[in-house]
Amino acid sequence: MEETTIVYPQRIRDIRYIESEFSGKTRSFDQITFFLDFQRIDFYSINDTDEISVKVSNIKNHIVRESNNLFPDYFIGQELYITWKCINSQGYFDLFVIGIGTIRPTICILSEGSSLKVLKLEKE
């Protein structure tokens, strides 16, 4: 997969995921993918370090929306406006924050226990 930088802003065309077999009280995921206007962003958890792996690739095909209940349809068509790559105090990249339609954080993707968790942030 080709790695490139994310171009901002781009509209979110679809969000897909693969649920982890280790989901407990909170849902967890092996992979989360954002399909944008002309890029795809894949998030994985690295099992050895519980860090996040982010792969960005260019896409040329039209994305057909698949319904899911993790990310509401509200996000589809909104612009991915800004992201933050967060390194914790021990030097691990285990949190990725996304601002959808705003410069404020909207969603956090946390790598924990060799899987990804999604935290939706409340608006004030």
Classify 54 in phi/psi space as left (phi over 0), alpha (psi -120 to 50) or beta: beta
Point out the least confidently predicted range of 28-37, 65-74, 81-90.
65-74
- Name the residue range of residue 97's domain: 10-120
- Residue 98 belongs to a domain: yes
- Asked if the structure places residue 1 within a domain, the reply is no
Entry pTM:
0.85
| 75 backbone φψ class: left, alpha, beta (φ>0; ψ -120 to 50) | alpha
Domain assignment present for residue 4? The answer is no
Q: Using pLDDT thresholds of 50, 70 and 90, give the confidence band for residue 65.
A: confident
The tally of domains found in the chain comes to 1
pLDDT digits (tens, 9 = 90+) for 49-60: 889 999 999 988
β-strands 10-19, 115-120 pairing: unpaired
What is the overall mean pLDDT for the chain? Answer: 86
46 in any annotated domain: yes
In a domain, 40, yes or no: yes
Strands (E), the chain: 10-19, 29-36, 39-46, 51-58, 79-87, 93-100, 107-112, 115-120
Q: Is residue 5 part of a domain?
A: no
